Structure 1
Amino acid sequence: MAATQRLELRQRQSLVMTPQLQQAIKLLQLSNLELAAEVDREIEQNPLLDREDGSSDTPLDTPSVDQRDPEFDPAAEPPSSSAVAGSESPDSGSPDSGSGLADATMADPPVTDSLDQANAERLPAAGEAPLDTDYDNVFTNGASWEGGADEAAFSNRPMSAGRSDDNDFSLEQRLSEDITLRQHLSNQLHLAVTDPVERAIGTCLIDLLDDSGYLSVELQGLAEQLSCPLEKIESLLAKLQRFEPSGIFARSLAECLALQLQEKDRYDPAMQALVENLETLAKGDLARLRKICSVDQEDLADMVAEIKALDPRPALSFDGDVAQPVIPDVLMRPDRKGGWLIELNSDTMPRLLVNSDYYAQIHTQLRSKKEREYLSDRLQSANWLVKALHQRATTILKVSHEIVKQQDAFFRKGVEHMKPLTLRDIATEIEMHESTVSRVTSNKYIATPRGTFELKYFFTASIAGADGTAHSAEAVRHRIKLLIEGENQKKILSDDTIVNLLRQDGVDIARRTVAKYREAMRIPSSVQRRREKSSQARSL
């Protein structure tokens, strides 16, 4: 067959990832902190974007949407009377609208959505897991002080005599600063070591400490890297291990405890044998430890008490990071009709303004085509960001609404009543793709009467029941934990016994699954629990 050339016209559909679509997908999966940083970056790059300063007269509290309304559509935008965030007026994109600042994105987000459960299950009765009793003031926004004439009078107050405007320290500069572990060790290093070479090696060792204060690097490799004798590093390390806090620069848990015992002059041969057999101590085999340490039961109990009083992570006393509280993206509380009121946390929603007045002012003054194209591109980018943020808020609210609807029994009765749920279940109900639901539930938190949870917490695997019903894996884990916590001291439950008890409750589960869940909850085996409880009984 001869090869010929010809022209063909074909038509096909394809999805093109435009920069705007990529930005919308990126915003959807960001947490509230990451979103705030992204919005700040956009404000710096776009002169037409301004941050809403809270001086708008538009009320932030919008009426809730009642699902009992026959015209209610979860996918539709809330009515314009509720001042939905990011909704655009017909003239919002026009440079000649004369409206000044365009509608505020997230200034009035689609904050509320009422999930009516009037015909569903009742509120918890006596004996069930309690809900919080006072919800009226739990999620109210705190009022902020705004200075007025008094503030202006204070700012214009003349400086007192003898006080300089520029050279005085502020109150913040006078406050004491916490000393870090590195600074504390460096100060001791300069006092204890005078040789410049040893100081340089010591500074390197300080930088190699981990968060717990351990030195996990191999000294031989460090000696080759620094081109110095290994004996010099070992000699310096022996000096550093005498620094405060006690136990610092240890290379293992046993060495850390030994350093602290040596400082207390309690590192005798019996204690040394105990420290070198920490694994046996962790297993609770006290009979073997008495033979190894050559002590009686009373002396061994005193030695174990001394070990427990030591600090296995000495660096945390200096550089312990303060746990940052989780700021929920969605707030949930019961309404007066027996349902749930779901609303977005307005404090986590960025509030942006598109300055159309500024656009109209400079648009008429531009002469070059390049400048006009740049300004038009900035206006289009600002409007797109407004729409993307509004769509993000609407999608989060829609997904949260459906999750609460699916897990209603959990919120009313507790974790034992959590039902199996997958991303596909939510995506099917709200007619979205699974990847969208996955992005929405990543790093997003909801504050509920039972605590604050990540949205992904409510998606659990399904475990088959003996009667054909499915059980949530999280509910099964909770049931295993309750069985172990309530076991008799003289009758420790093995994994096989737990399997039989669960099957009596209608949960068909394998022994290896019980062991996997137990290990994930950091619960020791039945043998270890029996040893621990027997040792506790003997000590009492």
Structure 2
Amino acid sequence: MALTPRLEFRQAQSLTLTPQLMQSIRLLQLSHIELNAFIDAELLRNPLLEREDGGAEGEPVELPEPPAELSAYEDTVAHGERIQDAGSIADSLDTAVDNVFPDQGAQDRLVPSSRIEAGSSGAEAPDLDQFVAARPLLGDHLRAQANMLLRHAADRLIAHHLIDGLDEAGYLATGIEAIAEQLGADLADVEAVLGALQGCDPVGVFARSVRECLAIQLRERDRLDPIMARLLDHLDLLAAHDMAGLLRAVGCDREDLADMLAELRQLDPRPGLAFDSGPVEAVVPDVFVRQGPDGAWRIELNTDVLPRVLVDRSYYTSVSGKARDAKEKAFLSDCLANANWLARSLDQRAQTIVKVAAEIVRQQDGFLTHGIAHLKPMTLRMVAEVIDMHESTVSRVTTSKYMATPRGLYEMKYFFTTAIAASDGGEEHSAEAVRHRIRQLIEAEPANDILSDDTIAALLKKEQGIDIARRTVAKYREGMNIPSSVIRRRQKKGLAQAL
């Protein structure tokens, strides 16, 4: 067969993801905050889109009257009639002019715009609740103190580099040797600046370890005596709840140790977190689940967070007839197509969320009625097969979506848990329900009978037929931040002796 170039025609079928289809898929996994940001960007790009108001359908919307047009002379005269001189303001306050305007003396001064009465301009007074002070940043707060505390420019430069080396908790993450080498300064000078900065507010910043952070705070309270210093040197014994070894290392009696531990609890091991400036976003449910009068569960979308857009076809009709060339007509056609696509995509997204939420509620009826102990194991495939969708679609829909139920507010991903087989061949158990039962057993254990992981596994198999290994119990326990049986025994014995 000769290897020569030639042309061939073939007919084949293939699935191609268009840009709009890919965008529709991406809309499914956006949270309501991200979706609103996307809608705002589309409103700026597309003149045929407008956001639907939250009023009742068919209710007429009152548009504000346009302000009357005034000439420059009329506006100046009207403004001059509203202002007051310094004497009239002082008379209304029953005081002297010097007390009101000390810098101006007896000179007249215009009233600031914020002091103009609302009734005179026809506008409402500003709501002071809308003006929220910005939270200060830790770096800015410390730089202001360093500029007042240090006199020399070289020391301030070192201080700024030390401030830049702090982590969010207020600890010095960068070594002072590296800072001294970077600036070409003596190590003694960097240590001196660091010692001065360790007295800044909040107390405990610029520490290089938890021991140093607590020592700075105790020194500020004049409580860093030799016994307290020995206690700080053995924080590892305190973390292990080895009270007997801690008493021997510190060299004090049990009463003095209890008092020192009470003082340590009043300290802040992460002082920098008080200046955390990250925005706090409240979790808003996307779906409400309520029980109707007939006992059936009802699913309702949260319309407050669901953006709605309208396609302004009348504006398109009026503008398309005035298009001057093919480029403008193509632009308007693209805007109309994108607007129609976005409106359909948002409606389809809402329907998909309701469909997935309804199936979750149907399969987790026991959880909603009786609690977490009746949470059933459920996978994405189980929901996808019932609603005739792909697993990836269900995964996108349940990402960053929250459901408000009578049992609380949960992310939709919470209801998807792995299954644990039953030893008697009965119904499988949810991993989340097993974790809940492990926590109940540990919380109910007495101080003189601490349950080991093997004992917990045996109890689960005996009581509920849950066939689970010891290492699985340990994994679940560590995932819930529950210490081992050895540490729990020390904790509960120390608590019993303290009481």
Greater gyration radius: 2
Deviates more, 1:351-360 or 1:201-210: 201-210
Q: Give, in whole Å, the separation in 1 of the partners of 2:112 and 2:237.
A: 67
1:186 is displaced (CA, Å) by 2.2
Q: Structure 1 300/22 Cα, relative in aligned 2: closer, same or farther at 3 Å?
A: same
* 1:529 alignment partner in structure 2: 488
* 1:501 alignment partner in structure 2: 459
Deviates more, 1:195-204 or 1:33-42: 195-204
Q: Structure 1 2/368 Cα, relative in aligned 2: closer, same or farther at 3 Å?
A: closer
1:175 is displaced (CA, Å) by 7.2
Q: Give, in whole Å, the separation in 1 of the partners of 2:354 and 2:193.
A: 59
Q: Where do 1:416-435 residues align within 5 Å?
A: 416-435=373-392
CA deviation map 1:252-276 (0-9, x unaligned) = 1111001111112222222112112
* 2:147 alignment partner in structure 1: 190
CA deviation map 1:371-403 (0-9, x unaligned) = 100110111011111111111111111111111
Q: Structure 1 147/481 Cα, relative in aligned 2: closer, same or farther at 3 Å?
A: farther
Q: Give, in whole Å, the separation in 1 of the partners of 2:285 and 2:193.
A: 49
RMSD over equivalenced CA pairs, Å:
2.7
CA deviation map 1:98-140 (0-9, x unaligned) = xxxxxxxxxxxxxxxxxxxxxxxxxxxxxxxxxxxxxxxxxxx
1:490 is displaced (CA, Å) by 1.3
Residue 433 (structure 2) aligned to one of 459, 475, 478: 475
Q: Structure 1 178/428 Cα, relative in aligned 2: closer, same or farther at 3 Å?
A: closer
Whether the 8 Å contact between 2:136 and 2:277 is mirrored in structure 1 is: no
Report the AA paired with residue 35 of structure 1.
Answer: L
1:277 is displaced (CA, Å) by 1.4
Residue 358 (structure 1) aligned to one of 295, 310, 315: 315
Q: Structure 1 428/161 Cα, relative in aligned 2: closer, same or farther at 3 Å?
A: same
Q: Give, in whole Å, the separation in 1 of the partners of 2:204 and 2:259.
A: 21
Report the AA paired with residue 363 of structure 1.
Answer: S
Whether the 8 Å contact between 2:137 and 2:277 is mirrored in structure 1 is: no
CA deviation map 1:24-50 (0-9, x unaligned) = 011111000000000000000001111
* 2:107 alignment partner in structure 1: none
Q: Structure 1 209/171 Cα, relative in aligned 2: closer, same or farther at 3 Å?
A: farther
Normalising by structure 1, report the TM-score: 0.79
Q: Give, in whole Å, the separation in 1 of the partners of 2:407 and 2:181.
A: 56
Report the AA paired with residue 248 of structure 2.
Answer: K
Q: Where do 1:140-151 residues align within 5 Å?
A: none
Q: Give, in whole Å, the separation in 2 of the partners of 1:283 and 1:307.
A: 16
* 1:510 alignment partner in structure 2: 469
* 2:9 alignment partner in structure 1: 9
Q: Structure 1 46/315 Cα, relative in aligned 2: closer, same or farther at 3 Å?
A: same
Q: Structure 1 148/366 Cα, relative in aligned 2: closer, same or farther at 3 Å?
A: closer
Report the AA paired with residue 539 of structure 1.
Answer: A
Report the AA paired with residue 54 of structure 1.
Answer: G
Whether the 8 Å contact between 2:289 and 2:403 is mirrored in structure 1 is: yes
* 2:358 alignment partner in structure 1: 401
Q: Give, in whole Å, the separation in 1 of the partners of 2:286 and 2:133.
A: 35
Normalising by structure 2, report the TM-score: 0.85
Residue 371 (structure 1) aligned to one of 328, 344, 348: 328
* 2:88 alignment partner in structure 1: none
Residue 420 (structure 2) aligned to one of 443, 460, 463: 463
- Are 1:44 and 2:44 counterparts? yes
1:168 is displaced (CA, Å) by 5.9
Report the AA paired with residue 446 of structure 2.
Answer: N
* 2:479 alignment partner in structure 1: 520
* 2:19 alignment partner in structure 1: 19
- Are 1:449 and 2:406 counterparts? yes
Q: Give, in whole Å, the separation in 2 of the partners of 1:389 and 1:322.
A: 27
* 2:205 alignment partner in structure 1: 248
* 1:345 alignment partner in structure 2: 302
Residue 261 (structure 2) aligned to one of 304, 309, 328: 304
Unmatched segments (≥5 aa) in structure 2: 68-77, 85-109, 117-125
Report the AA paired with residue 470 of structure 2.
Answer: R
Report the AA paired with residue 32 of structure 2.
Answer: N
Q: Which has the higher contact order (CA 8 A, sep 6+)?
A: 1
Residue 231 (structure 2) aligned to one of 258, 270, 274: 274
Q: Where do 1:72-221 residues align within 5 Å?
A: 160-162=82-84, 178-221=135-178
Report the AA paired with residue 292 of structure 2.
Answer: D
Residue 348 of structure 1: SS of its match in structure 2? coil
1:282 is displaced (CA, Å) by 1.1
* 2:97 alignment partner in structure 1: none
Residue 182 (structure 2) aligned to one of 219, 225, 233: 225
Report the AA paired with residue 486 of structure 1.
Answer: A
Q: Give, in whole Å, the separation in 2 of the partners of 1:8 and 1:430.
A: 43
Q: Give, in whole Å, the separation in 2 of the partners of 1:217 and 1:28.
A: 42
Residue 304 of structure 2: SS of its match in structure 1? helix
Q: Give, in whole Å, the separation in 1 of the partners of 2:111 and 2:308.
A: 39
Larger helix proportion of the pair: 2
Q: Structure 1 294/165 Cα, relative in aligned 2: closer, same or farther at 3 Å?
A: closer
Q: Give, in whole Å, the separation in 2 of the partners of 1:223 and 1:370.
A: 62
* 1:324 alignment partner in structure 2: 281
Whether the 8 Å contact between 2:50 and 2:310 is mirrored in structure 1 is: yes
Unmatched segments (≥5 aa) in structure 1: 60-145
1:243 is displaced (CA, Å) by 1.1
